[in-house]
């Protein structure tokens, strides 16, 4: 039975980092916005994520995704200041850079190639041979095949970023409804005019689907093909007052991030066959911890804090879906950010806000549109 009925200008389904970043930019632009979250804000993929702003370490070719990532990374220092001022919450931006360590000759060649095109694209990327690397990092895996140092790839602490976005949006007038799942869309002549929850109807001029790994399932209700699916990632936190290195160390299948609160984050598996099961399991965590201790032996003495697992919103080509939905008035998507949703949250919020306030988006959205599926 429907208990209450709300009206809002813009409704965002999903209160992860993407939904909250959009809420912030829309609220800043003076738009009345409501966020609907089935659980608690940021409790899903966002909570499990490492928080790397890996615009260079994660990208293997110069393409629109690389450009989008570089632009998003550049927004973080100012965003940090804005959110800190509005909410008093610091996203804990950590700017020591990332070492991407080569594990064999083929990996070395691929990283040297990456150094070359990224430098050509105007980004900083410095090669360290094994001996120099040892001087910088000390106690690491031996021997390495060198490493690419990316001084501008930063990191944040996800729970803090999420809190800062949500608290700042609230201060600007956004409304958040937690423990409130969208059950179905409300339609009028084929246009989306809101959603139903178990006990309410929320009418909205437009609805933005930002439900992470669940977005494909929800879109399916409309017969809409939105190929976004769960890719499970497991990781864990260690306690430390003084992390063994100030740098993020990243290699095949394993990365280590010292956090500004003194903890060390170790990630991450990538599993496509677990469906929506987001429980951590012993086999994955055992494999990951042995890789981490091999990479940085002193980690082995640190006390274990928290296992984490989350469902990345995967997409077939690894690119997010951003923008309107052809043929369905009133519906927008911002999802499928896969391994880089935290990195891309800043630019996603900005682009969707530009689109919804009648501005020309500052990045060409065509490569990230739903219509790209028709050309593939």
Ligand X SMILES: Cc1cc2nc3c(=O)[nH]c(=O)nc-3n(C[C@H](O)[C@H](O)[C@H](O)COP(=O)(O)OP(=O)(O)OC[C@H]3O[C@@H](n4cnc5c(N)ncnc54)[C@H](O)[C@@H]3O)c2cc1C
Interaction pattern, residues 103-142, with ligand X; x per rule: CB under 6 A: ----------------------------------------
CB of 236 to ligand X, least distance (A): 10
Exposure b/e, 303-337, CB count within 10 A at least 16 = b: eeeebbbbbbbbbeeebbbbbbbeebebbbbbbbb
Tokens of 304: 């274990």
Number of residues that bind ligand X (CB under 6 A): 44
**Rounded-to-integer distance, Cα 42 and Cα 147, Å:** 33
Backbone phi, psi, residue 54, to 5°: -90, 60
The separation between CA 366 and the C-alpha centre of its own chain, rounded to angstroms, equals 21
154 to 193: interface string for ligand X, x by CB under 6 A: ---------------------------xx-----------
Integer Cα distance of 247 and 154 in angstroms:
10
Among 8, 45, 115, 118, binds ligand X (CB under 6 A): 45
8 has which bridge partners? 204
Residue 91 lies near ligand X (rule: CB under 6 A)? no
Q: Which residues contact 153 (CB under 8 A, 6 or more apart)?
A: 52, 53, 54, 55, 56, 57, 73, 97, 98, 248
Q: Which is nearer to ligand X, 132 or 281 (CB)?
A: 281
Q: Is 37 in the site for ligand X (CB under 6 A)?
A: yes
Interatomic CA distance for residues 333 and 19, integer angstroms: 10
Cis bond before residue 143 (omega within 30° of 0) = yes
Among 8, 10, 34, 46, binds ligand X (CB under 6 A): 46
Asked if 274 touches ligand X (CB under 6 A), the answer is no
Nearer to ligand X, 144 or 235 (CB): 235
* Contacting residue, 19, 243, 258, 323, with ligand X by CB under 6 A: 19
Any contact of residue 341 with ligand X (CB under 6 A)?
A: yes
Is 49 one of the binding residues for ligand X (CB under 6 A)? yes
Does 207 bind ligand X (CB under 6 A)? Our answer is no
Residue 268 interacting with ligand X (CB under 6 A): yes
Calpha distance 13→10 (Å, rounded): 10
Q: Does 153 bind ligand X (CB under 6 A)?
A: no
Instruction: Name the E strands within 156-263.
Output: 175-177, 182-188, 191-197, 200-209, 228-238, 248-251, 254-258
According to the binding rule CB under 6 A, does residue 265 interact with ligand X?
no
Of 82-90, 114-122, 206-214, 289-297: span binding ligand X (CB under 6 A): 206-214
Q: Which of the residues 294 through 333 are near ligand X (CB under 6 A)?
A: 310, 312-313
Residues 6+ apart with CB under 8 A from 91: 76, 79, 80, 83, 84, 156, 157, 160, 161, 164
- In the list 8, 24, 27, 38, the residue contacting ligand X (rule: CB under 6 A) is 38
Separation CA 73–CA 60 (nearest Å): 16
8 A C-beta contact, residue 151 and residue 176: no
Q: Can residue 230 be called a binding residue for ligand X (CB under 6 A)? A: no
Q: Does 284 bind ligand X (CB under 6 A)?
A: no
What's the CA gap between 73 and 77, in Å, rounded?
Answer: 8
- Binder among 11, 12, 13, 65 for ligand X (CB under 6 A): 13
Nearer to ligand X, 108 or 167 (CB): 167
**Does 52 engage in binding with ligand X (CB under 6 A)?**
yes
What minimum distance in Å lies between the beta carbon of 131 and ligand X? 29
Q: Where do contacts with ligand X occur on this chain (CB under 6 A)? A: 13-19, 36-39, 43-46, 48-52, 54, 181-182, 210-214, 218, 233, 235, 267-268, 310, 312-313, 335, 337-343
């Amino acid at each position: 039975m429907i208990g209450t009925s709300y009206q809002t200008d813009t409704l965002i389904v999903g209160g992860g980092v993407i939904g909250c970043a959009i809420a912030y930019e829309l609220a800043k632009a003076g738009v009345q916005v409501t966020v609907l979250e089935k659980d608690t804000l940021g409790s899903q993929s966002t909570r499990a994520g490492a928080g790397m702003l890996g615009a260079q370490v994660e990208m293997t070719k110069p393409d629109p995704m690389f450009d989008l990532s570089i632009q998003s990374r550049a927004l973080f220092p100012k965003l940090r200041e804005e959110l800190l001022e509005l909410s008093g919450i610091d996203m804990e931006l950590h700017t020591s850079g990332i070492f991407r360590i080569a594990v064999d000759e083929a990996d070395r060649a691929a990283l040297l190639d990456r150094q070359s095109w990224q430098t050509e694209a105007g980004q900083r990327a410095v090669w360290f041979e094994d001996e120099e690397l040892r001087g910088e990092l000390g106690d690491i895996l031996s021997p390495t095949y060198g490493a690419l140092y990316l001084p501008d790839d930063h990191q944040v602490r996800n729970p803090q970023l999420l809190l800062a976005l949500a608290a700042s949006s609230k201060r600007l007038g956004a409304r958040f409804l937690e423990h409130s799942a969208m059950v179905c869309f409300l339609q009028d002549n084929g246009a989306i005019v809101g959603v139903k929850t178990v006990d309410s109807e929320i009418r909205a001029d437009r609805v933005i689907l930002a439900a992470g790994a669940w977005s494909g399932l929800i879109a399916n209700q409309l017969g809409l093909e939105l190929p976004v699916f769960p890719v499970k990632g497991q990781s864990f936190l260690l306690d430390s007052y003084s992390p063994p290195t100030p740098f993020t160390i990243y290699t095949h299948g394993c990365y280590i991030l010292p956090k500004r609160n003194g903890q060390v984050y170790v990630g991450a598996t990538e599993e496509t066959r677990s469906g929506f099961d987001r429980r951590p399991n012993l086999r994955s965590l055992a494999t990951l911890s042995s890789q981490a201790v091999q990479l940085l032996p002193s980690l082995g003495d640190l006390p274990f804090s928290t296992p984490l697992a989350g469902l990345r919103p995967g997409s077939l080509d690894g690119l997010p879906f951003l923008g309107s939905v052809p043929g369905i008035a009133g519906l927008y998507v911002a999802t499928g950010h896969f391994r880089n949703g935290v990195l891309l949250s800043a630019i996603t919020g900005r682009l969707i806000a530009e689109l919804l306030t009648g501005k020309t988006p500052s990045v060409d959205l065509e490569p990230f549109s739903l219509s790209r599926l028709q050309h593939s």
